[in-house]
Structure 1
């Protein structure tokens, strides 16, 4: 892992048991500590990921790495939705130096 990524604040977005977009949005609210006014749609997710004012204070200084765990079942159950989710993650990180999103490939432990 590069030095830059090693110093970032790591936040896990755990999709274990998520089978649809509504579940993904609910989990994003919980795991990313999004505000009550979060719109629970793809645009709102992209905007929230890219909005440093919603990040933990230390992440604003050091950058943030969002690790998406246990995503495979959701991707298999709803491939069209998952494709949009991947696009949202990519657009939120595109051109930004402070945010990265990684898909965990290992098990759930």
Structure 2
């Protein structure tokens, strides 16, 4: 599902040299710096903080809070998929060049809640695939 982000890393992802997908955040990059680079490049970026998240309900609650989901988010897997494939709620400031989600502490979440992480990973992959066919791509970095 995930691979290492190939050279030229985050800048290449943001300028189109690297195909959008789900990648591991390089050790030389911080989540904050990746999000800042995305903003500088005209992408809409968000950081999903998964430290201490150990189940589906907590994961979905954190997604709602950190990603600023709309009020119609139903706190279930289908609603997560809907929010990530209909990003109209994320276009508050106009049309971005792309969408970047940085999922921090992913490995800790995956170890604490492997089934939930597996489902979330599938939903992430489906969202990235959905946006691959659009003018505004989505990429996810697992940190």
* TM-score class normalised by the smaller sequence: 0.7 to 0.9
Gaps of 5+ in 2: 1-10, 21-37
> Structure 1 residues 59, 23: CA separation in 2 closer, same or farther (over 3 Å shift)?
farther
3-state SS in 2 of match to 1:10: strand
- Tell me, yes or no, if the aligned pair for 2:46 and 2:101 is still in contact at 8 Å: yes
Q: Which of 17, 22, 44 is equivalent to 2:52?
A: 17
Deviation string 1:44-73 (CA, Å, 9 cap, x unpaired) is 101101112111434732211001001222
Q: Is 1:101 the equivalent of 2:140?
A: yes
Is the 1:65–1:100 Cα contact (8 Å) retained in structure 2? yes
More displaced, 58-67 or 43-52? 58-67
Number of residue pairs aligned between Structure 1 and Structure 2: 104
Aligned counterparts of 1:75 and 1:59: Cα–Cα separation in 2: 34
Question: Taking structure 1 as the reference length, what is the TM-score of the superposition?
Answer: 0.84
Decide which structure has the larger Cα Rg and report it.
2
Matched, 1:71 2:106: yes
User: Given the two structures, how large is their TM-score scaled by the length of structure 2?
Assistant: 0.66
Instruction: Please give the alpha-carbon distance, in whole angstroms, between the structure 1 residues aligned to 2:94 and 2:55.
Output: 28
For structure 1, the residue ranges without an aligned partner over 5 or more in a row are 105-109
Matching residue of 1:33: 68
